[in-house]
Structure 1
Amino acid sequence: MGVIAASQAPAGIQGILLAAGKGRRFGADKLLHPLADGTPMALQSARHMRAALPRMLVVLRPDSRALEELLRREGLPCVIATSAELGMGHSIAAGVAASADAAGWVMGLADMPFVLPETIASVAAALHDGAPLAAPQFQGQRGHPVGLGAGFRDALLALQGDAGARAILQNEAQRLRLVPVSDAGVLRDVDTPADLGGAPAHTAQAKTDF
């Protein structure tokens, strides 16, 4: 895993890792499930984001006590989204409210532990360079994480329900900068235990609009 020096991280860009979903299809506490090396899924996702963006936080449900304890032991800041059960929009808004002074946000999903730090850093760099929206592209497909500039602050704070930031990304599609990457992890999410095998059974394409 590459580590981006703090001096190289784009100034003012905030990482937000969304870890407030229920993961019902997995059949267990998905985000605590160990990967092949024993690392809990959400912890690896958080480590990768922090390696690229030292300024980052993790958004959790109020009942995610075990996950919160695990993350805080690693020194990872956590924000509790009190209305997380109402949909991802509330979780995004909670994360943005806790970092409202940021120059932009890179939003990742905790069930995508294979996204490389270098990819996260590339999306952040695109925002820092002036892109209003940014996302990685692997073999012609847009993936995660997604970057949103400070101009979308009010819209992000107003998000509610399950739609998340989908409307922003759809309405502003012409302003999206795609960042070519060689990181297949940007398309690989974990919905079921089978997705932890070799070739992913699912891709994140359906979730790229949050």
Structure 2
Amino acid sequence: MPGILLIAAGKGERYRAAGGKGEKLMAPLSAHHGRPLFSVVLETAIASQLPIHIVTRPDNIPIIQLAADNGIAVTLLNSQSMGESIAAGVKATDDWDGWLIQPADMPEITVRDYHRIVQALQHSSQARLYWQEQPGHPVGFSQQWRDALCQLCNEEGAKNVINHSLLRLNGHPGVVIDRDFPEE
């Protein structure tokens, strides 16, 4: 079965440069009753009932603690890029049939979004949600892409591995919304 690879290893530099305080993934979201961003994302991933693995930085204690509290495995990595984070997560979950790559700063992703990607991977080796021609997340890869994903090392993440002619699914605005900046 494919699983969700939550990428939470960024440094939050854009967030802090825009005036954000503290750890971006622990910032409260007003639309979610002030709950921390990562808590909202993790809760949705857990509700999907798919396997979950988190890639985060060794100093990101709140994320590590939330993972431990929920019995979720973590790869600790002083990541220099999205690609490096994805590669580490894929290597750590070698027994999965596929991966749903999900940045951990996207709280509008739904359980249905995860399930649509899993279903699509039954018929295609890749699947991706789009909103109005904008590529979104999660992005799904079958096991056949394992070696290519394990070679990633740049900030472009899996962009060089994505075959845009493979399955594209219509999504909703939330599949393209991340939280790189503090709420106003």
User: Structure 2 length as normaliser, TM-score?
Assistant: 0.89
Measure the CA separation in 2 of the matches of 1:50 and 1:70. Answer: 12
**Which has the bigger relative contact order, CA under 8 A and spacing at least 6?**
2
1:18 aligned partner: 7
Q: Partner amino acid for 2:164? A: A
Is 1:94 matched with 2:92?
Answer: no
Deviation of the 1:53 alpha carbon: 4.0
Q: Which residue of 2 aligns with 1:72?
A: 68
Secondary structure of the corresponding residue to residue 115 of structure 1: coil
Alpha carbon RMSD of aligned pairs, Å? 1.5
Query: Amino acid of the residue matched to residue 173 of structure 1?
Result: H
In the alignment, does 2:121 pair up with 1:132?
no
Distance (Å, rounded) in 2 between the aligned partners of 1:79 and 1:190: 22
Aligned partners of 1:39 and 1:54: how far apart in 2? 22
Aligned residue in 2 for 1:146: 139
Name the structure 1 match of 2:169. 179
Where does structure 1 lack aligned partners over 5 or more consecutive residues? 1-11, 198-210
Runs of 4+ in 1 over 4 A off after TM superposition: none
Any conservation in 2 of the 1:16–1:59 contact (CA below 8 Å)? Answer: yes
SS of alignment partner, residue 28 of structure 2: coil
Alignment deviations for residues 69-99 of structure 1 (CA, whole Å, 9 cap, x no partner): 1332233322212x41x21111101110111
Deviations 1:134-167 (A, max 9, x none): 0112233321110011111001111113232111
TM-score (normalizing by structure 1): 0.79
Instruction: Report if the CA contact (8 A) 1:43-1:71 is conserved.
Output: no
Contact 1:13 1:53 survives alignment (8 Å): no
Identity %: 33
Task: Compare the two structures and name the one with the higher strand fraction.
Answer: 2
2:100 counterpart residue number: 106
Identify the residue that residue 117 of structure 2 maps to in structure 1: 123
Aligned to 2:29: 35
1:166 to 159, 163, 167: 159
Preserved contact between residue 14 and residue 53 of structure 1 (Cα < 8 Å): no
Q: Which has the higher helix share?
A: 1
Q: Which residue identity does 1:77 align to in structure 2?
A: A
